[in-house]
């Protein structure tokens, strides 16, 4: 297992990060603890969660993923682990989290962090993200910016001032963004510099063979502002493993929560996946091995977030760190990408 510095922080994170989006829902608490133990035994020191998880969620399950971590974390050497969580963004999505008019303001952030710390059974969170922006942006599969959707927003300075207070109080160590845009990254960094507020150290956005949007502009913004990418959905909701090719496995997310992968029901997606599978087969790799090795090989990726519904899947994911992708494979991947560019942005 390799370790990389996270942006300009003093954190060193494993090249794989264990995601917990389905923990305490699709994955039981006992199974989650087995995954935590195995991941740590293999060198993973980085665990990602959110107040929103698990997904798909509801008022009864919200926060259970953090609680599953907390029940395990209380018996672990806290200073050897890096725990990341997120405050929910603005808007009517997930109204069971502080109502339909939720904002990323002081009241919401402070309530969110205190509840997360309680569930996680820890005094501090190493990396605390805004899950999606307070302002309007096209996210979660939207592809066009529509000015008519713009709304009154909490000033970025106000958001950073709250995070500054949380850092001073010892409740968080560093600030991150998620599902952000190049403008958002640059504006957060500009405001932080001008007002001497905590600078963002990381961004968590989707990145995989069928969604390479990050490369176009965000990679430049993050390079010059020294943000590390924590890549989520590296397997495109499992589609890049090709496990959904013939039938849907009984315990898979698509079986348990039909319709939850709307982002991947786009034109040319299946054609692109099939083309990538053929490349993997040509080079004696499994589709999963090639997909994860590709993400890990990108210069702007600090850590790849893997979410597994079973211990066997976790073992298979971790075993891919031994695979180094060749320039010949990259060339063939890029050839497919030129034909089917970003079918699932």
DSSP labels, 215-278: GTTHHHHHHHHT-EEEEE-TTTTTGGGTTTSSS--TTSHHHHSTTTTGGG--TTHHHHHHHHHH
Among residues 86, 79, 84, 71, which one has the least CA distance to residue 36?
Answer: 71
Q: Which of 53, 232, 244, 264 is catalytic?
A: 53
Structure-token pair, residue 88: 């929910």
> Could you tell me if residue 273 is left (phi over 0), alpha (psi between -120 and 50 degrees) or otherwise beta?
alpha
Angle at 142 between CA 100 and CA 66, to 5 degrees: 50
Q: What is the DSSP letter of 118?
A: H
* Non-local CB neighbours of 23 within 8 Å, separated by 6+ positions: 29, 32, 35, 49, 53, 54, 64, 65, 68, 69
pLDDT at res. 240 = 96
pLDDT in tens, 247-302: 656 666 655 655 556 777 788 999 999 999 999 999 999 999 999 999 999 999 99
Return the number of other C-beta atoms located less than 10 Å from residue 340's C-beta. 19
Structure-token pair, residue 57: 């969620």
The answer to whether 113 touches 125, Cβ cutoff 8 Å, is: yes
In whole angstroms, what separates CA 114 from the centre of its chain?
Answer: 21
* pTM for the whole structure: 0.94
Q: Is the dihedral of CA 264, 267, 270, 272 positive or negative?
A: negative
SS3 label, residue 73: helix
Is 232 an annotated catalytic residue?
A: no
* Non-local CB neighbours of 173 within 8 Å, separated by 6+ positions: 9, 11, 124, 125, 126, 127, 167
* Non-local CB neighbours of 128 within 8 Å, separated by 6+ positions: 84, 85, 86, 87, 113, 163, 166, 172, 174, 175, 176
The answer to whether 311 touches 35, Cβ cutoff 8 Å, is: yes
Among residues 321, 271, 303, 320, which one has the least CA distance to residue 18?
Answer: 303
pLDDT at res. 127 = 99
SS3 label, residue 131: coil
pLDDT in tens, the chain (345 residues): 999 999 999 999 999 999 999 999 889 999 999 999 999 999 999 999 999 999 988 999 999 999 999 999 999 999 999 999 999 999 888 999 999 899 999 999 999 999 999 999 999 999 999 999 999 999 887 888 999 999 999 999 999 999 999 999 999 999 999 999 999 999 999 999 999 999 999 999 999 999 999 999 999 999 999 999 999 999 999 999 976 555 656 666 655 655 556 777 788 999 999 999 999 999 999 999 999 999 999 999 999 999 999 999 999 999 999 999 999 999 999 999 999 999 998
CA distance 162 to 158: 7
Rounded to whole angstroms, what are the CA distances from 331 to 133, 211, 276, 283? 35, 17, 12, 13
Question: What CATH number does the domain located at 3-264+298-324 have?
Answer: 3.20.20.100
CA distance 210 to 213: 9
pLDDT in tens, 52-97: 999 988 999 999 999 999 999 999 999 999 999 999 999 888 999 9
Helix (H) or strand (E) holding 38: helix 29-41
CA distance 17 to 229: 12
The answer to whether 179 touches 214, Cβ cutoff 8 Å, is: no
CA distance 331 to 326: 9
**pLDDT > 70 in the chain, percent:** 94
């Amino acid at each position: 297992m390799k370790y990389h510095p996270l942006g300009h922080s003093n954190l060193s994170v494993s090249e794989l990060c264990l995601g917990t989006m389905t923990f305490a829902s699709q994955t039981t608490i006992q199974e989650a603890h087995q995954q935590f133990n195995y991941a740590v035994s293999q060198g993973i020191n980085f665990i990602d969660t959110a107040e929103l998880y698990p997904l798909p969620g509801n008022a009864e399950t919200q926060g259970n993923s953090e609680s599953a971590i907390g029940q395990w974390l209380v018996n672990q050497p806290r200073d050897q682990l890096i725990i990341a969580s997120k405050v929910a963004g603005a808007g009517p999505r997930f109204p069971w989290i502080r109502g339909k008019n939720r904002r990323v303001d002081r009241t919401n952030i402070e309530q969110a962090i205190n509840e997360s710390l309680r569930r996680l059974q820890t005094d501090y969170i190493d990396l605390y993200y805004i899950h999606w922006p307070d302002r309007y942006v096209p996210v979660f599969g939207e592809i066009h910016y529509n000015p008519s959707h713009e709304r009154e927003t909490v000033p970025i300075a106000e958001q950073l001032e709250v995070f500054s207070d949380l850092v001073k109080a010892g409740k968080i160590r560093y600030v991150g963004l998620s599902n952000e845009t190049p403008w958002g990254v640059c504006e957060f960094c500009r405001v932080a510099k001008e007002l001497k507020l905590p600078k963002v150290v990381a961004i968590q956005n989707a990145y995989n063979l069928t969604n390479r949007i990050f490369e176009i502009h965000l990679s430049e913004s993050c390079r010059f502002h020294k943000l590390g990418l924590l890549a989520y959905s590296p397997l495109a909701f499992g589609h890049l493993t090709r496990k959904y090719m013939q039938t849907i496995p009984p315990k898979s997310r698509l079986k348990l929560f039909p319709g939850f992968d709307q982002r991947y029901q786009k034109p040319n997606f299946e054609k692109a996946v099939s083309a990538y599978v053929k490349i993997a087969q040509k080079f004696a790799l499994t589709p999963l091995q090639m997909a994860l090795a590709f993400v890990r090989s990108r210069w702007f990726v600090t850590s790849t977030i893997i979410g597994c519904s079973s211990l066997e899947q976790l073992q298979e994911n971790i075993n891919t760190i031994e695979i180094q992708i060749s320039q010949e494979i990259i060339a063939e991947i890029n050839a497919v990408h030129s034909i089917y560019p970003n079918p699932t942005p």
